[in-house]
Amino acid sequence: MRSLNVLTANSSDGQSHRVKRLLCSLPILLTLSFSGMGRANEEDQLTGNLPSAEQIPRKSEDPRHQQVERFVRTYFRTWSNRDTEGYDACFLPKASIQFIDSEGQLSTYTRAQFVASQRKYHRTARHRMTEVAESIDIRFESKLARAVVHWKLTAGPTTDFGYDHFTLIKHEGEWRIINLVFYSQKRN
């Protein structure tokens, strides 16, 4: 809160709306600081010289955001279309895939094991399955992108919901999965 005290002292000219505006935008600025966009150095943080809204790229303007969203949609499309080659290409060769079951137990798979299990899952399913992203939350951290996706899986008369937590890295110019953690959401 040191920077707020400095800003309050600098705002003694009766323009308290500047402080109020900063207080309203502080959670956004902190989020941007942690996500690697608009990061201010320590001196700037202490003096209140934080980036202006014009200096911080909007999600829609950041090409990485669009690339990751397109990647996530491709991931779900290839799975739903039973395109196991396209689906397999979404993962780095040494990717780790983890499933948390309804009891909280964790199962970990290699890329090859997981893709083979998905191929079998499609082949033996009673109904054709379609999985779509209901929402996608994307954050960037240096070399990595993290996407949390709330999904909907439809198989005949059955509909399930859950979450995929992707950790992605650019490999040979394309986003690829390093780690995927997924689980179904309990519905009340």
Q: Note the pLDDT tens digit of each residue in 61-118.
A: 789 999 999 999 999 999 999 999 999 999 999 999 999 999 999 999 999 999 999 9
For residues 152-180, average pLDDT: 96
Rg (CA), the chain: 22
The answer to whether 98 and 109 have CB atoms below 8 angstroms apart is yes
Helix orientation angle between 2-10 and 16-35, rounded to the nearest 10 degrees: 150
* Domain spans in the chain, listed from the N-terminal domain onward: 2-56, 60-184
Q: Tokens 């209901």: give the residue.
A: 134
**Which segments within the chain are labelled E, that is strand?**
91-100, 106-110, 129-141, 144-155, 158-171, 174-184
pLDDT of 48 above 70: no
pLDDT: is 47 or 136 the higher one? 136
Say whether pLDDT at 185 is over 60: yes
CATH of domain 60-184: 3.10.450.50
Condensed to tens digits (0 to 9), the pLDDT of residues 111-156 reads 999 999 999 999 999 999 999 999 999 999 999 999 999 999 999 9
Residue with more model confidence, 186 or 14? 186
36 vs 60, higher pLDDT: 60
Q: Which whole-number Å values give the CA distances from 12 to 8, 19, 46, 148, in the listed order?
A: 7, 10, 18, 43
DSSP letter for 105, please: -
Residue 122, H or E segment: helix 111-124
**Confidence band (pLDDT; 50, 70, 90) for 59?**
low
Tell me phi and psi for residue 184, to 5 degrees: -85, 150
Measured distance CA(101)–CA(59) in Å, rounded: 33
Residue pair 127/140 in contact (Cβ under 8 Å)? The answer is no
